[in-house]
Amino acid sequence: QVQLQESGPGLVKPSGTLSLTCAVSGGSIISTSWWTWVRQSPGKGLEWIGEIFHAGSTTYNPSLESRVSMSVDKSKNQFSLKLTSVTAADTAVYYCASKDWNHKTNYFDSWGPGTLVTVSS
């Protein structure tokens, strides 16, 4: 399993853009994994934001699709998340994770420790 580490600003102003990066170590971002972002609002459950394959294909949660974009930087072995027009409702711990497969199903088997992003002026 790879190791993942999120980084980025912990405070974003309302209407601004949230930008996070996830560094992948112990493996290559050029693999069969889909690279994923999940968030968790304080005291709440888990919300899947979306995922990206190293070749650039993306799938986003329809509830966030108009504001989300993801990218991969193969040279740095990392992937990124951008969320625009943020509000207080976007305050959450953001996790990056790898989604892997076997012949039965797919699942999130490696996770970063998470990073808290607060939206506030």
Partner 1 sequence: DIQMTQSPSSLSASVGDRVIITCRASRPIDSDLNWYQQKPGQAPKLLIYAVSDLQGGVPSRFSGSGSGTHFTLTIASLQPDDFATYYCQQSNTNPPLTFGGGTKVEIK
List contacts with partner 1 (CB under 8 A).
38, 45-48, 50, 59-63, 95, 97, 102, 104-109, 111-114
Q: What is the Cα–Cα distance from 39 to 90, expressed in whole angstroms?
A: 9
Minimum separation from the CB atom of position 95 to partner 1 (A)? 6
Minimum separation from the CB atom of position 103 to partner 1 (A)? 9
Q: Among residues 61 and 69, whose Cβ is nearest to partner 1?
A: 61
**Alpha helices of 15-100 — where are they, by DSSP H?**
none
Minimum separation from the CB atom of position 76 to partner 1 (A)? 22
Angle at 62 between CA 121 and CA 10, to 5 degrees: 25
| 33 closest CA partner among 75, 1, 65, 6 | 1
